[in-house]
Each structure stands twice: as structure tokens, then as C-alpha cells.
Chains A and B, each alone.
Chain A
Amino acid sequence: MEYLYAFLFAGVACALAQILFNHTKLTAGHVTSLYTVLGAILSFFGIYEKCLQKFGAGASVLISNFGHMLYTSALEGYKAKGILGIFSELLCKSSAAITAAIVFAFVFSFIFKPRD
């Protein structure tokens, strides 16, 4: 059942983005940024946490999860260290995603040649 939920949530989120692509002139950069900000806003209202519990990986594979991770780690940082915590812990949870993207992109760009 959780597989179905994951499938449906990720599918619907992508379909909504496709509607944006089809009916507006927004580029991929616009839509991904929008989804990230939207993730942070949903996290602010506590909705994204519930989505993660209900839809599991369906919510965690989306780019909105990036905004959610940024917001929650900033808040946890504030609770631990005050204002300094917001600055020092904001990227804490999303570090895994950013570091993975940087390392793999860098290494693969040396192994493979660009194709056109």
C-alpha cells in the first residue's frame, strides 16, 4: 500500500509541474525553484512532515523535500543554539544531497565525455 501512496504522490506532483510547463513559459529552473520554495512553505505549516509520514519516499524523492530539509534543520538549529544555529545548521540535513550531487557530477565529468 505504501508503494501505491509513494507512486501517486510523486506522480501527482510531477503532473502538476507538467501543467505549469504546458500552459506557461516557465523554464525548468523556475519550476524547480518554485517547488523548493513551496516545500519550505509547506514545511512551515507542518504539512510536509505529514506528507512524508503518509507518502514516504513519494515525498522524499521530490525537490520540495530539499526545501523541507532546509527549513527543519534551520529550526532544529535554532532550538539547539539560538540564532547562531539557524546560520550554522541550515544546510545540515540537505548536505547529503548537495555533496552527493557535487561529488558524482565532478567525478563523472572526468570519466565521461559530453554527447550532443
Chain B
Amino acid sequence: MRDEQTPPPASMDRRDALKVMAAAAATASLADGLLPSVADAQQVVGPGGKAAPRPRTAAAPVPPKSGPRGTITDPDLLNAKATWPRLLTATELVTLAALCDMIIPADDTSPSASAVGVPAYINEYVSAPYDWAERALVRVRGGLTWLDVESGKRFTKRFIALTVAEKTQICDDICYSAKAKPEFVAAARFFDQIRDLTASGFYTTDAGMKDLQYIGNVPLAKWDGPPAAVLKHLGLV
């Protein structure tokens, strides 16, 4: 439910929210036994079936045979888990974490990407059972190896052993594929993808949502529209 690290929304007090949720829960449980009962095959007519009696009406609600079947097109939404095996090695993950933290380092507002598990998300992403993930895996693996090779050429060390200044020297060459020199374009595309994935992984955590000051996903008793300060900011008052 409510993300504990999200700042309390300005337009609602917590007591109101609890009241709304309690009312909703009561409504839901009231309705629970009244959903469509699932008839089984008693109404089926065989071949040559003659005039038959009127159908039995649903006297007592039968518990619905509903619920997820746990297949890939019908997963359990309430207990979700990415079950596929993860493919990046421990060594690759360490290099990846160092790069993620060059993209999103800790600052006064929020922690670094690796501190909130971003490399694990990227591993989940590139290991997924889809064609696009296979392509991403090749790009990410190739990029991570390139980082170490390039670090070796420039500084005779692996990427993780570089100083921030040394890492910055490499990242500056690959941080924008549209303006990268030809010899860095492939690495820059890798960097673009890692930056997008790092941002996705980071800003969907509690810390990331708090950093952006996202407020929402909480039940409200009523909807008021934007507060006066917002309207003023937009020149709408």
C-alpha cells in the first residue's frame, strides 16, 4: 500500500485515507460472495437432446473457480516474481555497479544506484526470456568487457579499480552517442542503454520516488485538483 518513505501528500491527511480504505475494504468484502458463480457442465445438452427441464437456478452461490493459473499470460499479480535465471556473472555485476554509480552517484538527496539494487534490476532485464533481452544482453556484456579493455589501455587497470577522475575520462567519451566520436559510438550506445535502465531502476525505488518528490498512489477521500501554489507557478490564477 502506501510507501512509507513517500512524503505525506499535501491534499490529504492520513486519517482521511484510512477512512477511505476502510470503507473500500468493507465494500469489497460485502461483495465477495456475490460475484458470478461458475456453473459447471450441468446445462449441457447431448446430441439429440430432447425437450429438457428448465435450468436449475443458482440457489446457493458457488465459490468462483477464479484465480490466476500461474502461466506466463496469467501470472499471479499479487505475488509477482521474475523467475527466470539471471545470466550476468558476479564479476560483470561488480563492473556494472561501478558504472551505474557513475550515472547515479549518491548525493545529499538520495543514495547511489547500486545502493538501491539497480544492478540486480539490469540483470533481471538482460536475462529475461524475450528477443529484446537477448540483444540487450549482448550489448551489456560487450559494453562491460569494452570498459575493462579501455581501462586497461588507458590506465592498465580494470574499470572498478579506476579513480573517479579516470572513470570520468572514459565516461565523458561515451556519455552521448549522438555526439560520440566514431570509435566510441558502440560504447556510447551501451552507455545510453545503461543510463536508461539505471534511471528506471533507481527512480522506481522508494528512494528514487522520494528524490523526485512523486506524491501519489494513496487513496484520497476526495479529489481537489492542483493546489494554489501549482496554479500560481503555471500562471493560471
Q: Do they bind each other?
A: no
